[in-house]
Structure 1
Amino acid sequence: MDTKTLPVLDAAQIRVLGALMEKSKTTPDYYPMTLNGLAAACNQKTSRKPVVQYDESTISTALNSLKIAGLISTATGGSIRNIKYKHNFAIVFPVLPSEVAIMCLLFLRGPQTPGEINTNSGRLYEFETLEEVNEVLEKLASEGYIKQLPKRPGQKEQRYMHLFAGDIEFIEEDYASDESPAKSNSQLEERVIKLETELA
């Protein structure tokens, strides 16, 4: 599959689509989702990188664009206030449940290693082995949905990112929020040790 056939989505559209994909599996009783429920899913503090604070206007704009692209559809419950939304990812693209799970994680969490995908995918899809994860990743990469990123210093596993925002250069700082506290802590410790040495 040629990557040119993929839609180029912005960050809000990717977050909305990923949230719908996730909640269809993790909370099926509340799916399809209301705008209010979707806002909470997009802005939740866990399992999201980066964490965002989208208002309902931003989410509505993203929903309208995704609907035009055919990636979501609506289900009304009798009045306009009860409009609910569902994703059509596996209808638009010929992907299996295991592939939907991986795409969902990449949409919501940013670049992931096979090990991270295996750990984080439990509620979306149960992979039997790490080898199975790697096989699905290779298939998605060969079909142009994702690409492999260069290894970070000291990292054993390759990371993968989705290509639904275009084939852009990955900027490490955009996803470094998890590591920055540890880094700043170590720098603080070094400064304390240095000061203690000077005062001694």
Structure 2
Amino acid sequence: MPFDPRSTPLNPVQARVLATLMEKARTVPDSYPLSVNALLNGCNQKSSRDPVMELDEGDVQQALDDLLRQSLVTPVSGNRTQRWEHNFPRGVGVPEQSAVLLSLLLLRGPQTAAELRLNAERWHRFADISSVEAFLDELQERSEEKGGPLVVLLPRAPGAREPRWATLLGGPIDLSALPAAPAARAAASSGAEQRIAALEARVEQLEAQLHALCQQLGVEPTSAPTQD
């Protein structure tokens, strides 16, 4: 039976942990599965996250234990450190493309179809916005037998050109608690945010190369400090 958010919705920490595992499996596959420390760093990133969180190792471990009971993550034994991988598509019962869209919504909050296509570039290249919308429509029309809808199209915010989509993996959406869509959001990231994202991508690549080298040498890489 696929994960049913109506009976056991994800809390914010569980959502962040699960979506971060999904993200890193796609963007830095050489360093995946992740140790708890690497996962913590990913959860606490300052860019590509809404909201930004300040979790500690205990928060992440508790979320992993909860997700394990729901068959959404799996522990993997390493040389010295236990690592973790997600079971997102199978656990939730959706194809890979839908899992990408759901993970982006968990990491960044409500987004338009155009924003989702842009933000998914490093995860999966959707042919066009129509293909993104097709998967979103499928998630919204998901049958009750499969666990019901997993996304909802929100009412268009004042001043916004396009409506945004939100995930229901965390339970029903409280429309009154949603912030208004910033006017500049449709233009995606600012120049500063793009530079930060590029730097983080480069750091991830270097960490992946270090991890691969350490595996070849049979040593465990030194854990990186938690980001401030």
Structure 2-normalised TM-score?
A: 0.72
Matching residue's letter, 2:119? N
> Distance between the aligned counterparts of 1:6 and 1:90, measured in 2?
19
> Distance between the aligned counterparts of 1:155 and 1:166, measured in 2?
25
Correspondences of 1:134-149 after superposition (within 5 Å): 134-143=133-142, 144-149=149-154
Structure 2 equivalent of residue 169 of structure 1: 174
Matching residue's letter, 1:66? L
Correspondences of 1:38-77 after superposition (within 5 Å): 38-77=39-78
Matching residue's letter, 1:14? A
| 1:3 Cα offset (Å) | 6.0
Question: Are residues 75 and 164 of structure 1, via their aligned partners in 2, closer, same or farther at CA, if it must alter by over 3 Å?
Answer: same
Structure 2 equivalent of residue 108 of structure 1: 107
| 1:5 Cα offset (Å) | 5.4
Is the CA contact 1:72–1:86 (under 8 Å) kept in the aligned structure 2? yes
- Which sits farther off after the overlay, 91-100 or 55-64? 91-100
Matching residue's letter, 2:58? S
| 1:173 Cα offset (Å) | 3.6
| 1:7 Cα offset (Å) | 3.1
Question: Are residues 6 and 90 of structure 1, via their aligned partners in 2, closer, same or farther at CA, if it must alter by over 3 Å?
Answer: farther
Matching residue's letter, 1:116? E
> Distance between the aligned counterparts of 2:14 and 2:51, measured in 1?
14
Correspondences of 1:21-32 after superposition (within 5 Å): 21-32=22-33
Matching residue's letter, 1:60? Q
Q: Which has the larger radius of gyration?
A: 1
Structure 2 equivalent of residue 9 of structure 1: 10
Is the CA contact 2:3–2:70 (under 8 Å) kept in the aligned structure 1? no
| 1:168 Cα offset (Å) | 2.9
* Alignment coverage as a number of residue pairs: 176
SS in 1 for 2:75: strand
User: Please, which of 150, 154, 164 is the counterpart of residue 155 of structure 2?
Assistant: 150
> Distance between the aligned counterparts of 1:175 and 1:47, measured in 2?
16
Question: Is there any run of 5+ residues in structure 2 with no aligned partner, and where?
Answer: 143-148, 186-228
Question: Is there any run of 5+ residues in structure 1 with no aligned partner, and where?
Answer: 180-200
SS in 2 for 1:86: strand
Percent sequence identity is 34
Structure 1 equivalent of residue 189 of structure 2: none
| 1:66 Cα offset (Å) | 0.5
> Distance between the aligned counterparts of 1:27 and 1:148, measured in 2?
31
> Distance between the aligned counterparts of 2:102 and 2:76, measured in 1?
24
Is the CA contact 1:111–1:159 (under 8 Å) kept in the aligned structure 2? yes
Is the CA contact 2:76–2:84 (under 8 Å) kept in the aligned structure 1? yes
More helix by percentage: 1
Question: Are residues 25 and 155 of structure 1, via their aligned partners in 2, closer, same or farther at CA, if it must alter by over 3 Å?
Answer: same
Question: Are residues 6 and 89 of structure 1, via their aligned partners in 2, closer, same or farther at CA, if it must alter by over 3 Å?
Answer: farther
Matching residue's letter, 1:155? A
Structure 2 equivalent of residue 197 of structure 1: none
- Which sits farther off after the overlay, 53-62 or 167-176? 167-176
SS in 2 for 1:147: strand
Cα-to-partner distance string for 1:43-62 (whole Å, 9 max, x where unaligned): 00110000111000111111
| 1:138 Cα offset (Å) | 0.5
Cα-to-partner distance string for 1:148-196 (whole Å, 9 max, x where unaligned): 11110121211111111111313124987x98xxxxxxxxxxxxxxxxx
Is the CA contact 1:50–1:175 (under 8 Å) kept in the aligned structure 2? no
Is the CA contact 1:49–1:175 (under 8 Å) kept in the aligned structure 2? no
> Distance between the aligned counterparts of 1:88 and 1:151, measured in 2?
33
Is the CA contact 2:158–2:180 (under 8 Å) kept in the aligned structure 1? no
